[in-house]
A and B are shown apart, each in its own frame.
Chain A
Amino acid sequence: MKPGHGEVLIAEGDVERAEDEQRLIEEFRRQLDAGLWAAVPLSDGEGRRESIMVRSFEEIPWDADRVIFFPRAAGGR
């Protein structure tokens, strides 16, 4: 998510391909280093949806189809 723009595709690839995985890892780190938060939306199969916050690439569920980066939360007025 990019303020003023909405959703922007940053990178995509297949984690089972080594070169794709490396590229995704680098992009993941770049986004977190830029101060963004990362979340993976999940479904429990019974209609409930939730998300998990991930802080490292290894925490991303293997079957996740996307990671959403969004600006870090801050206290508002």
Chain B
Amino acid sequence: MLLALAATALVALALLSDLIVPRVEHLWARFRAGRRRAPTWAYDPGRERRAEQRARALLRSCINEEEWSMYRDLGFLRVWGTLADGPDDVGGTGGAPYAYLIYPHRPIVAYLAQTHRLLNEYCVTFPDETRPYGSSLLPDSDDVLAKWMALTGDERRLISTANMHLPGRQLDPAHVRRDLWRLSQWERARMRQLAGGDGPDRPADRQSAA
């Protein structure tokens, strides 16, 4: 009798194992997960500020004194274009000098230096490919430096990588023209200051030309 009951119980267990085993495994996993200490990430409110300070120091060490003053005073950098006929997608500048305005985390704006006619906006980012989801941004000054290095190092490559848009898609053209006016005023003031002998050093010819 006892043997029969035991055999019946074993058979029943074997038949129910498909239902029981997954539940046991699930409960065991939940138990272990509950005991494991969850990783905590303490938010450091000063981290981004310190990162930006480091980025500013790095940017300052890479660009010249005039460019650094421009960025510090105006909040953007100007980089002269070096392609003979302008960026490929502009349709030719006829050899007229052109330049780019670099804003932190905003599109790069190409314009003709003499007329201040806006040519294009170039939208470019520097994503952290090791963290494709929710990646952090570069600090503002690192973003400017990355654009500056990529433009001065290989203008054609950066421009071909960027998404090109007509002026006004993201940046208000009136705002950009006002920045160009501010830049020209800033350069005049700087030239007056340098002529008066107050400046720290003389900027390169082309950079002080427009």
Contacts and interface: CB of A to CB of B under 8 A. Distances in A.
Interface of A: 1-7, 34-35, 37, 39, 41, 43, 46-53, 68, 70-77
| Prevailing SS type, chain B contact patch | helix
B204 A39 contact: no
B17 interface: no
Contact of B123 (A3, A43, A49, A77): A77
Interface of B: 47-48, 50-55, 57-58, 61-67, 107, 123-131, 135-139, 142, 145-146, 148-150, 152-154, 157-158, 161-163, 201-204, 207
A74 B125 contact: yes
A35 B142 contact: no
Contact of A72 (B51, B129, B142): B129
Contacts of B158: 73
A47 B204 contact: yes
Contact of B201 (A1, A3, A6, A47): A47
Given A51-B62, A53-B157, A73-B161, A3 B125 contact: no
Contacts of A73: 124-126, 146, 150, 158, 161-162
A59 to B, nearest CB: 11
Contact of A76 (B52, B124, B148): B124
A72 B126 contact: yes
